[in-house]
Amino acid sequence: MSPYLGLPLLVFLAGLQGWLAQTLSPTTNLRPELLLLAAVACGLLGGYRAGLVWGALAGLLFDLGSAGPLGAGLICMAAVGCLSGLGQAGGPRFNRLLPLQAAALATIVYDLLYMLLLQLSGWGFNLIVAIYEVALPSALLSLVLMPAVYGPVYWLWHRARPGREASR
């Protein structure tokens, strides 16, 4: 995906994620992980390298808006984006449900990794409670939101891939 399109999309998703966090705060603890979903979508569409790069960028944007340790989001999203790239191995036999499954699974893995890094930085969690109260509801929310993120990323990916014009 062209960085000229991908970066604005990530910045937009970061802003939207922050706005949703602000808006949802009085009613629920749930937070949509839009940047993570974008990283997963990039991994699924472009392979593990694309997942790694776009995941790192998404993580960096997340860290800039978070009170957590700088770099924790970057590491976790890069790792999850990279792992999502393994889903591309399906190639032509791409399953339409794969993005949804990947979104749910990636959210759980991401939350566990992020909790681990927060623990190392002085935050304290009851892991079982955090999985039950944060990771699983977030995974369900990601499952619902994935089509809304995957659609635009898919469109941008096929609309303006680097080298597309050169190959013509």
Partner 1 sequence: MFTRTGLLAIATAAVVLALVFIRIPLLGDAEGYAAEVLSPIEKTLGGSFGVFSGVATTLTRAAELRTENERLRAEVESLRSASVRIQELEHQNGELVAELNYQKEHPEQRLLPANVIAREPTDLIHAITIDKGNRDGVAVGMTVVTPAGLVGRVLKCGPLSAKVLLVTDSKSSVSGLVVIGRAQGMIYGRRQRQLTMRYIDQLDKIEVGQWVVTSSMGGGFPPGIPVGKIVFVRQRDVEPFQEATLEPAVDLAKLETVQVVTSFLPAQVP
- Positions in the binding site for partner 1 (CB under 8 A): 14, 17-18, 21-22, 25-26, 29-31, 33, 35, 62, 65-68, 111, 114-115, 118, 122-125, 129-130, 133-134, 138
Paired tokens of 47: 């392979």
Nearer to partner 1, 31 or 161 (CB): 31
Nearer to partner 1, 129 or 166 (CB): 129
Nearer to partner 1, 33 or 82 (CB): 33
Nearer to partner 1, 64 or 89 (CB): 64
Q: How far is the CB of 73 from partner 1 (least distance, A)?
A: 8
Q: How far is the CB of 57 from partner 1 (least distance, A)?
A: 15
Q: How far is the CB of 19 from partner 1 (least distance, A)?
A: 9
Nearer to partner 1, 45 or 109 (CB): 109
Q: How far is the CB of 135 from partner 1 (least distance, A)?
A: 9
Distances (CA, A) of 62 to 20, 67, 86, 141, 149: 14, 10, 23, 18, 16
- DSSP codes, 11-65: HHHHHHHHHHHHHHTTT-S----HHHHHHHHHHHHHHHHHHHHHHHHHHHHHHHT
Q: How far is the CB of 91 from partner 1 (least distance, A)?
A: 34
Residue 36 in contact with residue 110, Cβ under 8 Å?
yes
Q: What angle do CA 91, 92, 94 make, to 5 degrees?
A: 75
Residue 106 in contact with residue 44, Cβ under 8 Å?
no
